[in-house]
Structure formats: structure tokens, C-alpha cells
Structure 1
Amino acid sequence: MNPADLSQLLADYQALRAGDQRKKREDKDKDKDSDLPEMQPAGLQQQRQTFDQPDALWAAFAAHAPQQGWLQFQSHQLTFRDDLPAPAAEWGALLQAEAVAEGGLSLSVHRRPQGGWVLTESRHLQAGDLLCDQVRHLVHAAADTLAYRRYWRLDAELGAVQTAACFIGFKSIHDQGA
């Protein structure tokens, strides 16, 4: 989609969002969770590496020095803040993970259907041919939320199609906005 179409769609979305917020004020509706998130133009730079061995995957993941995130092993799952914990042998292999490292680099680990893993490094760019917004998801039995930046590509036939969701950290459940 060309930049003019992207700009027009963004302007239309912001007008819809402003109307939704105005209606809530008029109705005195206090349900903040249903607000449309702010959307802005953006770009996304991604790099993927594949791994067949869990030790090589862990070494590559840990080399980024993630500051916070979540880890799911075969027999254990946890969240971390500040420092990446060393895995215990009884946890088994890492299955999935999401983390954020220095400079806002988002890291994602997923199992491949044919075996092995993919480590995706995602970097937010201030300009590009995508739209982005931020959303939060509740964490079970915690006072935090998982914050994500979602990226949308505009397709002439399908409209706005989500192309990526990148973990950007934990936020308190009491923080307003995404």
C-alpha cells in the first residue's frame, strides 16, 4: 500500500478512536479496557535463526542478555526481571520464550513443526510501511500484564492484517494505557 493510503487509513482510525473516547466520556463509561489503542506508522526489522540443539539455542538467546520475559521449559515455566535465570537440568529443554533486551530488542523462541527452534529478533523502527499499536494481556495470578507491540500490514483485499506481535515487557496492571 502506498504512503498516501497508509496516512489516510491512519487518519480514519484516529478519528474513529477519538469518537469512541468521546462517546465513553458522554456515557460516563468507565470501562477503559475497551478503548481502541493508539496506532502509529512504524517499521519492523526481523532476523531469524534456526537451531537443532537446545544448548546452542540457549547460548544464542542468553547472548542478548534479556532483561525481562517469560520462559517455558518441558517441566517448568517462569517469568524473570533484571537477569536471565540459569536453567535447571530438571526443567528439560526450552520450548518457548519471549523477552526484551537492551535497546528494546524483542526476542521470541518457538518450536518448529519439523523439530528444532527458531529464535526471532525483532527491532521496532520509527518509520516504515506498517502500522503498530500496543496492547496488554493479563498474567495469571500476578499484578502484571504482558505488553506487546503489534504490527499491521495493509492489504488491498484483506485490509489490515497483523504480521507480528513483539513482547516489550511487563507493566503493572494499574498502569494506564498499553
Structure 2
Amino acid sequence: MAVPETTDEQRAEQILDVFDTAFGELLAADPAAFQVKFRKMAASAFAFYRGTACLFYADLERDRHGGPFLDERTGRVWIHGDLHAENFGTYMDSNGRLVFNVNDFDEAYVGPFTWDLKRFAASVALIGYTKALSDEQISALVRTYATAYRERIHQLATGAKNEEVPSFTLDTAEGPLLLSLIHISE
């Protein structure tokens, strides 16, 4: 079931209601900080997207059943909560290795696993749009992400241990990611 169509006025009211719930108390406590946040969000569609996970999930909540891949188990798993392209980065793991992986887990919570997939796919599409890529190129990037996700889940579902599917490190990365890791480590 799709989200029902709304008028521009209804949508504006929905957005304000979500923002009031998500930011209202903090905004009242420090209006200047939120003036800066909202100005940053106004800079681009991607900046707005980054700053409004609450709105993204409020929209998904309206269509809670979420599709054929969700059931009682898959609809209640730990998700990142704000999975987008700028929430990936490098850090040193417990063995002192430079790793490229997801970071910034401050919005993690229990929800449908598909929400992280949808949020990241949308972020890839927005970045492609910002970079003036064609619709075909953007679709190819989103498909590449979905395929990589599916392959990783298949590996884990068929018995691979997490450590058997290595993280991206200086030893395992390839191409532009490896070049970035080398640059960071120097």
C-alpha cells in the first residue's frame, strides 16, 4: 500500500509535526544551534536528507507493513537508523587496522531491516542527482549497492562467519577505496 497522496499544505503540516516531535524541545532549549542546523539542511537536497532521518522514518511508518520481505523477525532488528553515504568512514579497529565501514550509530534502533536499505539507496540516488549523473547511472549505482548487500547477506545466511567476510582494510580493499585508505594512512 502506497502512502496516500497529500496536498502541499498537508505535507507541510506533516513535516512541521515531525520536526516538532523530533526537534521541538531541543530547538526551544537552543534556537541558535538549530538555526545553524536548518541553514545547513537548506544547502542541498542531500543536506536536507542527512538532517531529517526522522522525516524519512515517519513517512515509512505510514506504510508500516513494508512489503513481502518483512515478518515478525525481519521487521524488528537492530538497524543503523541513519544509513546514508556520509555515515561511512575510516577508523582503527581493536587490532589497530585501518578499516572502512559504517560509523555514527547514534540513531540505531529496532525496526524493519528494509528501512536501512531504503535510506541508503535514497542517499546514493541523491548524491548521483547532485553530481548530475543520468537516471540510468543513478539506477546502476543503486542496483550495485542492492546486489552487494544481497551477496553479503547470502554469505552470512549460508554459514559464513562475520570474520570470514572481511572488512575493507588496506589488505582487502581494491580500486578507489584502496587508494583512499592508502592516502588516509600516510
Provide TM-score, normalisation by structure 2. 0.26
Structure with bigger helix share is 2
Higher relative contact order (CA 8 A, sep 6+): 1
Provide TM-score, normalisation by structure 1. 0.27
